[in-house]
Structure 1
Amino acid sequence: MFDTAAVLDRDPAPTFDTPSHPGRLRCRIEGARDPNLLSRIVGELCRRSCVPEHLESAPVPGDPEAQWVTLSVTLSGAQEAAHLAARFASWPVVRTVQRLEG
């Protein structure tokens, strides 16, 4: 039987304190509260064979119809990171994509 607790205890929580890389995309995606938004983000990362270092989602305070997602992922370079951010922004359920510094 797979012991999830043991794996979680061994694996430190991801942080934004990882060294900078030209292909690192750190962003906050805000959009409609759509259950498929996270699935689409994960699907897009899988298509690129990328595993996010950080992925978090929560409702937008004061707006029950909206959610935000923060994401940190390392891609092949700055061009791919810019393309992925633009791709997220083009989705109809996404209101804004804000690139985070660091």
Structure 2
Amino acid sequence: MSKQDQVWVTDHISSHKYATERDGAEVKTSEATARQVKVSLTCKADPKLYDAPLTLITRVPADWQQCRITQGTQTATAIATVSNGVVLYAAMPTGEPITLQPVAP
């Protein structure tokens, strides 16, 4: 059985950049209600050099099955599947608010 979809294969530079961003990252929750969760992601690393999205794992209400994820004022949104009240998604460490809202089934 292949586990290729569970392993990140990359070059050493990308790996270093991701690890540096991750280690300098901070996530803050500003709101958590039944209708939405808002968090922000910042990073101490220089954004001119470290500009990769980071993977976040966020707890949401247990009855959510899917959620819409929007960061800042972007017009594109992502739809992510919620599993056991937890959602996994990519976000940029820009400090812009990240809003998660349930999607009606």
- TM-score of the superposed pair, with normalisation by structure 1: 0.35
- Structure with greater helix share of residues: 1
Higher relative contact order (CA 8 A, sep 6+): 1
**So what's the TM-score if we normalise by structure 2?**
0.35
